[in-house]
């Protein structure tokens, strides 16, 4: 596994997670994970963090998550924060729980997203403040608003529109809205599972090529995976300094920008 390190000191490791890799095992499938890479390259992190406890086929399992403080979906690329000792793990976990860590994502979504109304409270950012729960129709999915199963959890996502464009290579006048897309920057204020994906679908602009939430829309823009990238993360180091780590845009994102936005 070729994993790029974006930042490292004695307490913290930040890596550039490639799309297509899961962060840790699920107890069912035997595939290479980010956790495997950590254990191979940083064996001292074996007991750092908190294992995930699962019960599968009447067997209790503990899934190792060495130093992993948060996660990204399998197809999401970008910055992933890892603690190198238990004290730092708890320090970072506290920041996540208190919503002090700032995460920024980039995404391509279907349709033209309208510019949010400016306000003194949110500036020019759009705000999606809708609780999220398990979908009543699909055990793998989550949903916001009607159709979400209890318990519902607070979820807040802010966003801005960076650009809008049309896929002119496949454009057909009679179905022109099908070839409209937006490039957005997204700021999750809470950390619910699939939050950005669910909230973008909630406002009728699902993320391009999302395997779970795009509905009957086709794969698009030459992107064959979820078009979501964790572009930066800002957190406080144990010495009190604030640190921002950025991940460069992946090749598939750059290709779309060059083709449609250059």
**Catalytic amino acids?**
73
- Helix (H) or strand (E) run with residue 198 in it: helix 195-202
Nearest to 163 by CA among 221, 209, 211, 214: 221
Task: Tell me how many helices (H) and strands (E) the chain has.
Answer: 4, 14
For residues 230 and 248, what is the distance between their CA atoms, to the nearest angstrom?
Answer: 9
Whether residue 151 has a cis bond before it, omega within 30° of 0: yes
Nearest to 189 by CA among 225, 157, 236: 157
Within 10 angstroms of residue 262's Cβ, the number of other Cβ atoms is 5
Four-point Cα dihedral 27, 31, 34, 36, nearest 10: 80
Nearest to 23 by CA among 10, 39, 44, 43: 39
């Amino acid at each position: 596994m070729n994993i790029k390190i974006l930042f490292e000191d004695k307490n913290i490791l930040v890596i550039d997670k490639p799309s297509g890799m899961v962060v840790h095992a699920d107890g069912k499938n035997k595939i290479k994970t980010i956790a495997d890479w950590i254990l191979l390259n940083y064996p001292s992190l074996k007991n750092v963090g908190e294992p995930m406890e699962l019960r599968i086929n009447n067997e209790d399992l503990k899934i190792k998550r060495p130093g992993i403080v948060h996660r990204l979906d399998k197809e999401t690329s970008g910055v992933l924060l890892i603690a190198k000792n238990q004290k730092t793990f708890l320090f970072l976990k506290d920041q996540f729980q208190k919503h002090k860590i700032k995460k920024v994502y980039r995404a391509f979504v279907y349709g033209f997203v309208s510019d949010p109304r400016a306000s003194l409270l949110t500036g020019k950012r759009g705000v999606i403040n809708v609780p999220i729960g398990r979908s009543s129709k699909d055990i793998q999915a989550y949903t916001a608003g009607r159709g979400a199963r209890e318990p519902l959890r607070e979820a807040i996502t802010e966003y801005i529109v960076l650009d809008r464009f049309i896929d002119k290579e496949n454009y057909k006048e009679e179905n022109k809205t099908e070839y409209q897309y937006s490039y957005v920057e997204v700021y999750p204020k809470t950390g619910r599972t699939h939050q950005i994906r669910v909230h973008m679908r909630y406002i009728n602009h699902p993320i391009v090529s999302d395997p779970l939430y795009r509905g009957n829309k086709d794969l698009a823009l030459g992107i064959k995976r979820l078009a979501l990238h964790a572009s930066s993360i800002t957190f406080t180091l144990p010495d009190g300094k604030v640190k921002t780590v950025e991940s460069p845009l992946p090749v598939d994102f750059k290709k779309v920008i060059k083709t449609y936005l250059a």
